[in-house]
Structure 1
């Protein structure tokens, strides 16, 4: 290829590059100038950060009961093991297992025939001695009459008088044997000394029972009313004593997992000493139990109502956060619903509700859930939470519950 051809091709490449540059400049100018406006377009404004969804609750005034919570055991008011007081064959049982029994109801019958025979024998012996006594008394009367007229000796009259006294004493002994035989015969029909519920039958009819048997025939437990024995910390002892002086202290019993309410009753007895090994005091409450909601030996969660605080500021306990300086909450501020931390002081922190003494006002909104997603100044989308304190519930204070105060994390 000659020199002139190479020059032509070079000029053609330069023209192509120049045309491409002009086209790129035109496109850039079109993007800078607004179409039809005759001037440059304005730059786009920066977008606002999205709002964070959180759950909020309103600070409210309400009555909050203080429950002292402990673990308890259901106990029958009375438990009786029915045993035989005589030896013999167990002929019949008048009860069925699990039956509700009234005091005085017959339970079992032991063969009464040997004891009836002993009673008849004692009765006959007394009749025999009474006949002898009557004859001796007539002889004594004759001897005394003869002795007054000197037809017989005075010694013979005295001897007859002694025989009369001996027979009289023998008749008293006979009566004692009759009484004992009647008692033994009465033991053959065993009646329930208390009202309650029969347990499993421990001896079947046809077996021989003995007075020295330790196992018994059946166990009867009084279950209405029924008792619950539970423990509370010793530092609450004087508070409970003062409360009992003023009124009946209500006790509520729930299942051991606290998911089911069982019974309401009253506190009756405080034990006479504190357990030094555990630092707790035992207490006994009494409950009506006609529906057998409580069973002896059952483990339950017991709560004693110490007092009720009237008209206090409350928030759900989930709203209260613990920081390096103590307690704080996130308050949703108007008008743009941004959050800001607020130092609070709480007199009580329960599993559901907290009683606030300082830092909040009635009607303010606090974040209940979603605190980990926000920081001071974050705008939120507030969603209402449920009522912080359902009707009839309060703060259950256990052994480790205390008073917490403080401020937000730094």
Structure 2
């Protein structure tokens, strides 16, 4: 048999093998697909059953407009108490952490050297005042004699100049006395502002000087106290409009975990410029802080309430985030799911305002979103009439 006769039977064998492989793969895949559909709950006719979902109804209600930010507790006034004269610290009368009022005595420097300086200035003043009084008497005598031409006009002029010179020295002496009395007063170190005293930086018996950087202690005003926080510049208009109202805007300070309210206060002021590096605006809120719930330099979560408006509200758990923006799944009257792009407004307490995209009465899906697609049949197993905030949000893009 020649070579051509051998090739033909070989081709027939190869074709038969390929056909067998294709048939095997077809039956195998079909079995796997049937098994997979059966495992997922597909019906015997190959159709997918309705997806169970939990929904909530979009309603119109009053929603508090609330802005959140991170803030830092900042004293309205914070000073470092430094001595204004040099000397030995004689005694310290304050307790660390004590609340003091402006003018309360904190410490005292040895006043003896300053009393001596005051006595010297007063003695010099008395001496010069005596010379001035004698010069005035002599000038008056010369003026009387000059009318009878017993003294020359030059002598009168000389005495007048001497009197003016002594009058100038009198003012200098008075200034020296006042300065010595002020230095003596500075030996009593008093609180320049009211607030809480910090840790003592120096003990009695040490020599202190007016140039000491650390000072004796620091005082921070804690009642009332303020919180500084920043908001993005795009909400500036809303804040300014809300501040035009009759009452101050409420502000709450929460702890780090946002579980407890530390204090309630009001918005005090807004900075006069926007930070160009961060695009934010600084604001200050005031708190009475009667219970010392806020402490200087403490980090808090700030909630600024701008008011409340009637708007369309849904649970924020229904909101999804995709490549084309925010959207929700809505259940139609025929129990099919539909994707609706939405425009969101302010949110508060697990609820969020919807400015555009859905209408009042629409049913939005809260749970079962990960198994939905456009036009899919659904089975509503639970309807929440009131908005809830315990359902986790899904980050799935709409199915096609």
- Residue 172 of structure 2 corresponds to 173
C-alpha displacement at 1:69, in angstroms?
2.1
CA distance in 1, matches of 2:323, 2:123: 96
Counterpart of 1:11? none
1:18 corresponds in structure 2 to: none
Contact 2:135 2:163 in 1 (8 A): yes
Q: Which residue of 2 aligns with 1:10?
A: none
Larger C-alpha radius of gyration, 1 or 2?
1
- The match for 1:285 is 285
Which residue is equivalent to 2:344? 348
Equivalent position of 2:69 in the other structure: 70
Residue of structure 2 in register with 1:30 after alignment:
none
Change (3 A) 1:156 1:383: closer
The question of whether the paired residues in 1 share the 8 Å contact of 2:252 and 2:265 is answered with: yes
In structure 1, the gaps of 5 or more residues are: 1-45, 391-405
The answer to whether structure 1 residue 296 and structure 2 residue 278 are counterparts is no
SS in 2 for 1:206: coil
Q: How does 1:300-311 map to 2 (within 5 A)?
A: 300-310=300-310
- Name whichever of 265-274 and 201-210 sits farther off: 265-274
Structure 1 residues 202 and 76: alpha-carbon distance in aligned structure 2, compared to 1, 3 A threshold: same
**Please, which runs of 5 or more residues in structure 2 have no aligned partner?**
1-43, 391-395
**CA separation of 1:409 and 1:308: change in aligned 2, threshold 3 A:** farther
How do residues 9-408 of structure 1 correspond to structure 2 at under 5 angstroms? 57-149=56-148, 156-247=155-246, 248-310=248-310, 312-321=311-320, 327-329=327-329, 331=331, 340-348=336-344, 350=347, 352-356=350-354, 357-359=356-358, 361-362=360-361, 367-372=365-370, 376-377=376-377, 379=379, 381-382=381-382, 388=388
More displaced stretch, 213-222 vs 49-58? 49-58
- Cα RMSD over matched residues? 3.5
Question: Aligned to 2:77, what secondary structure does the other structure show?
Answer: strand
Check conservation: 1:332, 1:339, Cα contact below 8 A.
yes
The two structures have a TM-score, normalised by structure 2, of: 0.73
Q: Who is 1:409 aligned against?
A: 399
Does 233-242 or 182-191 show the bigger shift?
233-242
Displacement of 1:144 in angstroms is 4.2
